[in-house]
């Protein structure tokens, strides 16, 4: 095992033998009496048997899509589960910390809190870039979470900005790049650097561009040492059989093509939405986004109640530090965006 993963892991996990579930032990034969399953099934396909630990078709298809090996991949119950798994695998409660760059996705801090792990916060700069002194401000955190494209700002970082940070921390810290929205800015992925850096972890999901949020399926991409450690911590049968089947199919060559064309359409709607916002008064900032949402800063909060009155539900970010008067708009269908632009135009005229 690489020095880094074993040095950073919670020490009790190193010698621990993972739970030997029936599927993991496996076997061969015609009479399967090893897992206390029911021999009967009312459903078609049959769900009386436990699923594979990591469904073969799912893992093969995602590895092909991401251009990595199946050993560099772990399928999880959404990227959210992967966040928690990393914290549980590497952070000793009441001792270790993670570092986050705010404003960012809220679950890093929540997952840390539920594990009694401290959160070290290094705010982004005013234009949503990483703090130039980030590396000096890590306070020995074992995990550094960087979301790219970032939620909720939509801001992006290039691999050439991120790689020096991963390189500098090779001996001391795992850099977790959350690529939940990477399909909307595919040129920014760090996946091709996995072979080079043992401390790089990438999170992915089917919830956004793949249009399967209801499935709860995400992925952790990392080197084998880290994947093997998290496999000790994850639940015995983490991917329900129907999820594996639907997700596996969605990642066929044809499924990926459908995703790509949806992304092109959403990116175009994003552009049109920003163009329309530029015409309105009462808006202070439109933050250019590499994802399927746009963060907008208004002159005042009056907009919020007017939107709500019209039945338009958006994410209010104004309680978040530095995001006063900000709303985050997901990019919806053409009809939804047309409706949204019309309502915003009317509000802009009314409260002038």
Name the minimum Å distance from CB 232 to ligand PLP.
21
* Positions in 75-104 near ligand PLP (CB under 6 A): 78-80
Report the residue number, 78 or 248, with the smaller CB distance to ligand PLP: 78
Binding mask of the shown chain, residues 165 to 184, with x at each position contacting ligand PLP by CB under 6 A: -------------x-x----
Interaction residues for ligand PLP, span 141-160 (CB under 6 A): 147, 151
Closer CB to ligand PLP, 55 or 218, in the complex: 218
220 belongs to the binding site for ligand PLP (CB under 6 A): no
Q: Total number of residues binding ligand PLP (CB under 6 A)?
A: 12
Please say which residue, 14 or 213, places its beta carbon nearer to ligand PLP. 213
Instruction: With contacts defined by CB under 6 A, name the span among 9-17, 35-43, 74-82, 116-124 that binds ligand PLP.
Output: 74-82
Q: Binder to ligand PLP among 54, 99, 102, 207 (CB under 6 A)?
A: 207
Q: Which residue is nearest to ligand PLP (CB)?
A: 78
The rounded distance, in Å, linking the Cα atoms of 41 and 24 is 22
Q: Is 105 in the site for ligand PLP (CB under 6 A)?
A: yes
Least Å from the CB of residue 80 to ligand PLP: 3
Task: Kindly list the residues in this chain that would bind ligand PLP in the complex (CB under 6 A).
Answer: 78-80, 105, 147, 151, 178, 180, 205, 207, 213, 218
């Amino acid at each position: 095992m690489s020095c880094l993963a074993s040095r950073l892991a919670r020490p009790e996990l190193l010698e621990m033998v993972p739970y030997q579930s029936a599927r993991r032990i496996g076997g061969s034969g015609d009479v399967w009496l090893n897992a206390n399953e029911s021999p009967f099934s009312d459903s078609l396909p049959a769900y009386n048997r436990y699923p594979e630990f990591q469904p073969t078709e799912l893992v093969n298809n995602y590895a092909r899509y991401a251009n990595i090996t199946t050993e560099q991949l772990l399928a999880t119950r959404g990227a959210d589960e992967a966040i928690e798994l990393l914290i549980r695998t590497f952070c000793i409660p009441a001792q270790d910390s993670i570092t986050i760059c705010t404003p960012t996705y809220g679950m890093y801090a929540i997952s840390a809190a539920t594990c009694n792990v401290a959160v070290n916060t290094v705010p982004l700069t005013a234009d949503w870039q990483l703090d130039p002194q980030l590396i000096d401000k890590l306070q020995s955190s074992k995990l550094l979470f960087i979301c790219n494209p970032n939620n909720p700002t939509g801001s992006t970082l290039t691999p050439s900005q991120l790689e020096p940070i991963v390189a500098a921390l090779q001996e001391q810290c795992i850099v977790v790049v959350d690529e939940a929205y990477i399909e909307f800015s595919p040129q920014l992925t760090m996946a091709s650097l996995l072979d080079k850096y043992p401390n790089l972890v990438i999170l992915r999901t089917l919830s956004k561009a793949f249009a399967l949020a209801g499935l709860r399926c995400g992925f952790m991409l990392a080197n084998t040492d880290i994947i093997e450690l998290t496999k000790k911590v994850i639940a015995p049968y983490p991917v329900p059989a129907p999820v594996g089947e639907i997700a596996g199919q969605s990642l066929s060559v044809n499924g990926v093509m459908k995703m790509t064309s949806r992304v092109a359409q959403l990116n175009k709607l994003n552009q049109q939405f920003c163009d329309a916002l530029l015409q309105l008064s009462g808006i202070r900032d439109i933050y250019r986004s590499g994802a399927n949402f746009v963060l907008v800063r208004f002159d005042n909060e009056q907009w919020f109640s007017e939107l709500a009155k019209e039945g338009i539900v958006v994410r209010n970010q104004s309680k978040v530090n530095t995001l006063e008067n900000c709303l985050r708009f997901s990019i919806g269908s053409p009809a939804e965006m047309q409706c949204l632009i019309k309502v915003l135009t009317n509000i802009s005229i009314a409260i002038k």
